[in-house]
Amino acid sequence: MSSPLHHETLAALSAKLENRTLTSVELMQTFIERTRAVDGRVGAFNSFDADDALEQARASDARRAAGQARGPLDGIPIGLKDVIAVEGQPLTASSKILANFVSPYDGTVARKLKEAGAICWGRLNLDEFAMGSSTENSGTHVTRNPWDLERVPGGSSGGSAAALAAGAAAAALGSDTGGSIRQPAALCNLVGLKPTYGLVSRYGLIAYASSLDQIGPFGRTVEDAAMVLQAIAGHDPLDSTSFRTEIPDYRAELGRRKGPWKIGIPKEYFGEGLDPEVSAAVQAAVGHYRGLGCEIAEVSLPHTKYAVGSYYIIATAECSSNLARFDGIRYGHRSAKASDIVDLYFQSRAEGFGPEVKRRIILGTYVLSSGYYDAYYLRAQKVRTLIRGDFLKAYEKVDAILTPTSPTPAFKIGEKAADPLAMYLSDIYTIGVNLAGLPGMSVPCGFTKAGLPIGLQLIGKPFEEAELLAIAQAYETAHPWYQRFPKLD
């Protein structure tokens, strides 16, 4: 039995557009109707402009009729996390401080999607300024997991994951600073890819922690993620951290790279705090790779225990610096209560930022302050170097590393709200990848007895996304978990 149109893979929708059994307008109308039907319960979107989306769809159909289609994404609706600039669209970071801000320009990934003919569809909810692991910290509303509306979809890119899982977009973009693509993908039965730092331009991304942030795709399948990555990857002179490297045909490479591979299992990732059902599912995936002829080797990442601590020093320090620009003067919320210029700074930021953002700004300002910089920030950067060294040493023996994505399935809304440390530990398996600047992805890996999705994380060598995608597809082909959908109807 075929899936409903709104649950079909991006690759399948692309084929229907190409062979003219479907128009982009028909497809866009399907997603608009689906969004209106389910988003009142899910809350994935901050906003969407149906008229603009249909206008983009009509332009795509006209190009195709003229024989000028721009490629496999032409006419496909792709949702964007509300920290990625799209000209003429709201850009709020799910914060009251940017509640009425409209972007005057396209970020590079939005421009590249438009050049590929894709439809930039909607503004997707997130933890405010991408600071969180549950999308409960949004300054607008809580996003719910389509698999269980009493549970979180993960974060900070929870709106992107929930929109795709609910069938309200064909694919989506998120940003990943410490797991913010991979963890929501795991909790929502999706593929989520954080590319190597520097592979995808950050120009037009509202910065949280500039040395950690990376934009990446959500897809139903590995092939879908490869198609979106193809469109957005590549050097950009507007981003000083963008890396100049050859971009392969990721989708074509999926068919060429067949393994077997050497896969490393880090002993530090299978200890205390790992849910037994998650552990069992991931161990079953290890068994599958062994059955394919892959060599499975235990590896050690000995500095893993320092990853969370060093991350929350580096990330908060950079957020303290990056968020200084939101001062009530240049753009965003300006307090009406201020009595003078200094009071304006205090009042505007106090009114505009939510509690989690304030917590991280305070932490970051502290670790950068005189007398504490060397003790905290400098030491954390040294630990970061050691963490990257652990990964690179492991890659002398293996092609990729396999771990759980999240230590638990989706937790209930409010369950960890009063305990920031418990929330921070939700990213314990993903943070090291950002600190080391490596590519990592989450792939659906089964379900708990309660029907909650489980994710498998694969971590690759720098700029070896093609190999990483092929390794992921070798599991997905035999385990098409993406063919299961949440019951929202």
3-state secondary structure of 54: helix
Q: In the block, which residue shows the tokens 């399935």?
A: 409
pLDDT band at 426 (very low <50, low <70, confident <90, very high): confident
> Any idea what DSSP says for residue 375?
I
Q: In the block, which residue shows the tokens 């001062």?
A: 327
What does the pLDDT average to over 430-457?
98
> Any idea what DSSP says for residue 440?
E
At position 488, the amino acid (one-letter code) is L
Structure tokens of 121?
Answer: 């569809």
Locate the DSSP E strands across 169-234.
Answer: 171-175, 191-194, 215-219
Active-site positions read: 81, 156, 180
pLDDT band at 486 (very low <50, low <70, confident <90, very high): very high
What does the pLDDT average to over 383-400?
98
Exposure letters 142-179 (e unless 16+ CB within 10 A, then b): bbbbbbbeebbbbbbbbbbbbbbbbbbbbbbbbbbbbb
> Any idea what DSSP says for residue 377?
I
Alpha helices in 141-275 (DSSP H): 158-165, 182-187, 222-232, 250-256
Cβ–Cβ under 8 Å, residues 143 and 395: no
User: Residue 255's pLDDT is what?
Assistant: 86
Percent of the chain with pLDDT over 70: 100
Q: In whole angstroms, give the CA distance from residue 400 to residue 465.
A: 11
* pLDDT tens by residue, 214-268: 999 999 999 999 999 999 999 999 999 999 999 999 999 998 988 899 999 999 9
Cβ–Cβ under 8 Å, residues 112 and 217: no
Cβ–Cβ under 8 Å, residues 188 and 147: yes
- Between 12-16, 151-155, 198-202, 366-370, the lowest mean confidence (pLDDT) is in 366-370
pLDDT band at 176 (very low <50, low <70, confident <90, very high): very high
Nearest CA among 156, 125, 221 for reference residue 442: 221
> Any idea what DSSP says for residue 158?
H
Mean pLDDT (the chain, rounded): 96
User: Residue 2's pLDDT is what?
Assistant: 65
What does the pLDDT average to over 389-414?
97
Q: In whole angstroms, give the CA distance from residue 211 to residue 364.
A: 14
Which H/E stretch holds residue 472?
Answer: helix 465-476
CA distances 186 to 125, 217, 280, 343, 465, Å, are 17, 13, 15, 44, 19
Structure tokens of 39?
Answer: 């988003």
Cβ–Cβ under 8 Å, residues 261 and 397: no
- What global pTM score does this model have? 0.97
Sign of torsion over alpha carbons 253, 255, 261, 266: positive
Structure tokens of 27?
Answer: 């497809």
Alpha helices in 66-201 (DSSP H): 108-115, 158-165, 182-187
Burial class (CB in 10 A: 0-12, 13-18, 19+), 362: exposed
- CATH class for domain 5-265+395-483? alpha beta
Task: Delimit the domains of the chain by residue range.
Answer: 5-265+395-483
Q: In whole angstroms, give the CA distance from residue 408 to residue 152.
A: 12
Cβ–Cβ under 8 Å, residues 225 and 257: no
Partner residues linked to 264 by β-bridges: 297, 401
Nearest CA among 62, 77, 84, 125 for reference residue 228: 77
Count Cβ atoms below 10 Å from residue 422 Cβ, excluding itself. 13
Note the Cα 117 to chain centre separation in Å: 22
User: Residue 44's pLDDT is what?
Assistant: 98
Sheet strand arrangement including 171-175: 45-47, 119-124, 77-81, 171-175, 215-219, 191-194, 440-447, 453-460, 400-404, 262-266, 295-299
